[in-house]
A = this chain, B = another copy of it.
Amino acid sequence: MIKTPYLLFLGDAPDQLAAKVARGIGDWRPDNVVGQLRLEGCRADVGAPDMSLQEAWDKGARTLVIGVANRGGVISPSWKAVLHQALDMGYDLASGLHNLLRDEPDLVAVANSAGRMLHDVRIPSVKYPIASGVKRTGKRCLPVGTDCSVGKMYTALCMEKAMHAKGMKATFRATGQTGILITGDGVPLDAVIADFMAGSIEHLTPDNEADHWDLIEGQGSLFHASYSGVTMALVHGGQPDALILCDEPGRAHMRGLPDYQMPSLEQVRDMALSLARIVNPACQAVGVSLNTSAMGDSEALEYCRSVEKRLGLPAVDPFRHGAEPLADALKAL
Contacts and interface: CB of A to CB of B under 8 A. Distances in A.
A133 B259 CA distance: 8
A229 interface: yes
A145 interface: no
A259 B281 CA distance: 12
A71 B132 CA distance: 11
Interface of A: 71-73, 98, 129-135, 189-195, 197-199, 222-223, 225-233, 235-237, 239, 254, 256-257, 259-260, 263, 271, 274-275, 278-279
A259 B134 contact: yes
Number of copies: 2
Contact of A233 (B98, B133, B198, B229): B229
B198 A194 contact: no
Contact of A225 (B227, B228, B236): B236
Given A232-B232, A259-B134, A195 B227 contact: yes
B226 A130 contact: yes
Q: Which 3 A-B pairs have the closest CB atoms?
A: A133-B225, A229-B233, A190-B195
Contact of A189 (B194, B199, B223, B254): B194
Contacts of A135: 259
Contacts of A235: 228
A229 B229 contact: yes
A263 B259 CA distance: 33
Nearest to A235: B228
B226 A98 contact: no
B230 A236 contact: no
A226 B194 contact: no
A191 B187 CA distance: 17
Contacts of A232: 222, 228-229, 231-232
Nearest to A227: B195
Contacts of A71: 130
Contact of A193 (B130, B194, B263, B279): B194
